[in-house]
Structure 1
């Protein structure tokens, strides 16, 4: 024998699962999951691109710093190693120091010539001997302690870029070092070897020298540089641009890494979606199998006139007795069914079963038969035709009432309005179920031609403990709309008495009778009628 405690626990688990996802739209959640995954991949690609750009800039910065440090060493070597010896010669006649300058120049790396400056004139050169050239032909700011200038050429060697370094001793006097541009280009070539496509040496206001020894007055617009590194020791900057091959490798590398992470997270989101809705799919599959195995049936609860408790109608209630789990409350599965493709099958089963069973009673009872439907049923193709065919087969004096649960508010679509009109023309009546538990009650009453309002049991349970005014208010609200009120969940005589006092015409609940099969209900009604007559 199966353990009833396990069955109870299993049903409780199903109820918990259903309540967690009852208000979610599966299609909306699927669309949101797909959109979220696509957005995540887009973001991952964007992040990968951003990280690749940052990595490229960092690599360029490292190359620029390394090149700047190398140029710093060249400049320091030219101006510092011989400073004491050369500066002592400043002001001496060229004929006396020419040989000494030539000897010193041979010991200085990268330096093509060393020249002495007196009163703003270059008067003695290690390469040319006695000369007379204004210092301004080389350096525009001789007063600067570390003045340097990048020149396209010199007066004595046209077309050969050089770097002029002036080290002052007094105003407009000092030592001028001429450094070959080719030496700077050799330094810049090292940057290309480390992944830069282009590297250049730049002095603001002077020009630019690239790794191929080409001099530009301004940066070549056709060869933009993405990173600029400024020397902390001298007034120059190194410009760097990464090579296409390096950019491609970096971007592909980060794109693959970010894409893999994006796919992993998207996969986790998809897995979470599947796990979240797996219980729902299992539940709907069980409902589908239950219909095939005849596990569903319909029971009926009488609706009575409060004045004399005579039966005026019944509400058809769908029930599920699972072969393994036993009885399962509609609260566990109906909200899931109403938001799925199973709605059509379940509604058709409840409607056809209820009308067939009540019509088969002998003699047929002149009753209102209430069947619960969802707003989506009214929008479903073929629903009106099914209901009309069923209604036309009903015995005389039998009316079908379609109850629409208020928690799923109706949309004022053309199809819904047409369904209301077509069904009312066939004698079908409409009721709002669980009235007062959701919002937009007045809006619903104004937009759709309802016939009944069913007051939810949570309000009825408080009528004899101070909640009568609310029920009276609902009754007063219903009158201008021509609606009749039905109170649900009546369980005590005191509740019945209060409902009668506030003018509620109809009620249903355990006080009058529990839900029963059609045959038991007919027997009970017949017995009640017979006892009343006697």
Structure 2
């Protein structure tokens, strides 16, 4: 493990970061699991208490219906109404007994017939509804007494079956493992199960009961949910131990490895990507130091005569491991690392050495691509900079400004560019119409060339939009006295069409692909205007063939 964490310097940091991310992800997962499990446990307890409350409300609705119906029987002799009370109790599922009360005495019971028991032994008379949890008579189980007081001392007392209440609580408790209590008028009663075994034994005996919970047990612990019955001084209280949260968390434990693994992979991938960028940046700098970047040349030709008027210098990278890399594989990284000026300054001496072996016509154009970084570099425009060595070689440098960069010049930059143009440097706007803001360049620079992007050159003849853009661009260039160079010409039809519209210069695979010096040396003699080279020291004429 230690070797894995502290082994290879290039990867150990990423591994440590991934491990830290995994730990943080695991902590986040544990927090989320605890949150979800607590929510589910609360929902489970709430579901149980809600179920008991709903059942109790249903039972009370029937009970109150009986009480309201029998209020007219209060005061009648017991022998005349006893049968009616018995039938009512038999046909109402939740009712254990119906008792008539007159002058403070319970005098007629549906179960026991004529009785004489003071009401005060159960409760004090009050008008309206009163509720008690008590035993209907000695030796019976606890039941819910609902008393409906009518006239003073008179009323109807309905007993809700205690077994029904106990079964309701017991069944709900089985579903959710909580303790269920019913609180009536401030007194709470629990299932007769101090432990689970007692509750199961009571259920097996067929007579679960409700018993009074003592004051020491009055406060429910753990997860508690209280549901009150609307319009009644009755509440259902469900509670469960905190261990229910652990039970609920089991179904979410899969989140722990998933979150930790995802966090570790994401951080490791991000770290690896950054490390790769840093490594690639280091390779770029090493490549510049070792001279691994070489110039390729793509000719620019006159569309009418098809003779070469110049070349564009394009960089290629002879990577020691990956072979020859095209510009799109490294130029974005070059610009991101602000190595564009270093690359240009590395290529210029190589280009000068290459062109020494060629006889070129006067003012032969040699184009380099530049970015906003070149304008920020004071040394690139200095009077003794390598850029101006091209002028001394009877070559006209053309600097192609790419539109993908927003260039905003300050005064000293404008002055440096004006001095460079005064000495013979030409400027061109590359990929016109596809980049940042081409028109702004013509205001900042004294542009000499406009390069029409290949997407317009290679458009279908039926593409009226591209055709109109080409026409507008040519009119714009003509108005500013700019030479237009068409990029990406790949067939004779494109050449002829552009030449017919007045485009003078072009480049593309139809004429020549980018090539190394050896290929350019073979290609140029047939595509240069014949020139008469100066006589040699003994009067000999040095031709292109002799120089190559």
What TM-score bracket applies, with the shorter chain setting the length?
A: 0.5 to 0.7
User: Does the 8 Å CA contact 2:317/2:325 hold for their aligned counterparts?
Assistant: yes
Partner of 1:239: 237
SS at match of 1:531: coil
SS at match of 1:314: strand
Counterparts of residues 181-200 of structure 1 (less than 5 Å): none
Rounded to whole Å, the distance in 1 between the matches of 2:507 and 2:224 is 84
More divergent stretch after superposition (497-506 vs 433-442)? 433-442
Q: 2:348 aligned with 1:354, yes or no?
A: yes
User: Does the 8 Å CA contact 1:434/1:454 hold for their aligned counterparts?
Assistant: yes
Partner of 2:102: 119
Partner of 2:182: 201
Change (3 A) 1:235 1:487: same
Q: CA deviation at 1:361?
A: 4.2
Q: CA deviation at 1:57?
A: 1.6
Deviations 1:282-326 (A, max 9, x none): 987876776566543102233345566665432101124456765
Match of 1:300 among 297, 300, 305: 297
Deviations 1:200-254 (A, max 9, x none): 5345xx5564886569xxx99xx995453869xx9943123556x5587579878
Match of 1:337 among 333, 344, 347: 333
Rounded to whole Å, the distance in 2 between the matches of 1:465 and 1:123 is 105
Q: CA deviation at 1:371?
A: 1.7
Match of 2:391 among 373, 381, 395: 395
Q: CA deviation at 1:58?
A: 3.6
Flag structure 1 segments of 5+ consecutive residues without an equivalent: 1-32, 76-89, 94-110, 143-147, 154-161
Rounded to whole Å, the distance in 2 between the matches of 1:439 and 1:526 is 39
User: Does the 8 Å CA contact 1:280/1:336 hold for their aligned counterparts?
Assistant: no
Change (3 A) 1:270 1:71: same
Change (3 A) 1:410 1:320: closer
User: Does the 8 Å CA contact 2:22/2:261 hold for their aligned counterparts?
Assistant: no
User: Does the 8 Å CA contact 2:432/2:438 hold for their aligned counterparts?
Assistant: yes
Q: CA deviation at 1:395?
A: 3.2
Partner of 1:432: 429
Rounded to whole Å, the distance in 2 between the matches of 1:506 and 1:417 is 32
Q: CA deviation at 1:264?
A: 2.7
Calculate the TM-score normalised by the size of structure 2.
Answer: 0.55
Q: CA deviation at 1:434?
A: 2.9
Deviations 1:157-207 (A, max 9, x none): xxxxx9644499xx9555566999xx99xx99x98xx987x975345xx55
Partner of 1:149: 131
Rounded to whole Å, the distance in 1 between the matches of 2:367 and 2:27 is 52
Partner of 2:472: 473
Change (3 A) 1:173 1:492: closer
SS at match of 1:137: coil
Q: 2:49 aligned with 1:64, yes or no?
A: yes
Change (3 A) 1:254 1:370: farther
Change (3 A) 1:71 1:473: closer
Partner of 2:543: none
Calculate the TM-score normalised by the size of structure 1.
Answer: 0.56
User: Does the 8 Å CA contact 2:297/2:516 hold for their aligned counterparts?
Assistant: yes
SS at match of 2:39: helix
SS at match of 2:391: coil
User: Does the 8 Å CA contact 1:122/1:135 hold for their aligned counterparts?
Assistant: no
Change (3 A) 1:390 1:116: same
Q: 2:124 aligned with 1:137, yes or no?
A: yes
Rounded to whole Å, the distance in 2 between the matches of 1:290 and 1:308 is 40
Q: How many residues align?
A: 433
Match of 1:421 among 414, 434, 457: 414
Change (3 A) 1:515 1:261: closer
User: Does the 8 Å CA contact 2:295/2:350 hold for their aligned counterparts?
Assistant: no
Q: 2:291 aligned with 1:317, yes or no?
A: no
Change (3 A) 1:68 1:294: same
SS at match of 2:227: strand
Q: CA deviation at 1:70?
A: 12
Q: CA deviation at 1:60?
A: 1.8
Partner of 1:531: 530
User: Does the 8 Å CA contact 2:181/2:189 hold for their aligned counterparts?
Assistant: yes
Rounded to whole Å, the distance in 2 between the matches of 1:459 and 1:330 is 22
Rounded to whole Å, the distance in 1 between the matches of 2:52 and 2:491 is 94
Flag structure 2 segments of 5+ consecutive residues without an equivalent: 1-17, 61-74, 79-95, 110-114, 135-142, 191-212, 534-548
Q: 2:37 aligned with 1:52, yes or no?
A: yes
Rounded to whole Å, the distance in 1 between the matches of 2:123 and 2:35 is 47
User: Does the 8 Å CA contact 1:461/1:489 hold for their aligned counterparts?
Assistant: yes
Counterparts of residues 197-276 of structure 1 (less than 5 Å): 201-202=182-183, 206-207=185-186, 209=188, 226-228=225-227, 236-240=234-238, 245-246=242-243, 258-270=255-267
Partner of 2:452: 455
User: Does the 8 Å CA contact 2:451/2:484 hold for their aligned counterparts?
Assistant: yes
Q: CA deviation at 1:64?
A: 3.5
Match of 1:410 among 390, 400, 405: 405
SS at match of 1:395: helix
Change (3 A) 1:386 1:267: same
Q: CA deviation at 1:487?
A: 1.4
Rounded to whole Å, the distance in 1 between the matches of 2:31 and 2:444 is 49
SS at match of 2:405: coil
